[in-house]
Amino acid sequence: MKKRESVLWQKIKKCCPKIHFTRIESKTINGIPDLNGCMASKEFWMELKSDYVGYLKLSKWQISWINKRLKAGGTVLICNETLSERSLKLYRPLSAFTDPRTLKPRFSFSFPVQWPLLQDAIWELLDLPAAKARSRSMKQEQRFVVNVASGGSVTELDLARD
């Protein structure tokens, strides 16, 4: 894991005490996500990204691993810290994809990130069955913004179009 991703991992570990995380450092399995997590009997994998690019930079190995896990019924989250945009975005791919730039974030936290809200956002993503998300109508596809007292904001974007 790169240094910026290591710092991101430390922040996530600190702000999410209700999630049992195991950090995965594998040189033998190409594409395996950085973290395995479990919260309230719901297991998931999380890929961490931290860079200056405004879109997800996933390797072909990461895309392949995520697609195989999704096809097997697993849950994968992607946490992308975009330093140029000063934001932290959470993604939950619901079906196979080839270009990570087509993914839309479910949550976006502006800097300064309200870290305790991240655990709540992860729970909401885990509690949303993929079938329910896919069945939402285009009329229901909308953006919700909740203002946070310290000036940051949390945005939920519907991924039904993925």
pLDDT digits (tens, 9 = 90+) for 91-117: 999 988 888 888 999 999 999 999 889
Which range scores top for mean pLDDT: 24-28, 149-153, 154-158? 24-28
Q: What percent of the chain has pLDDT over 90?
A: 60
Predicted TM-score (pTM) of this structure: 0.78
All domains of the chain in start order, with CATH: 3-157 (3.40.1350.10)
Q: What rounded mean pLDDT belongs to the chain? A: 80
> Rg of the Cα trace of the chain?
15
Neighbours of 74 (CB within 10 A): 12
Angle (deg, nearest 10), helices 116-127 and 3-15 = 80
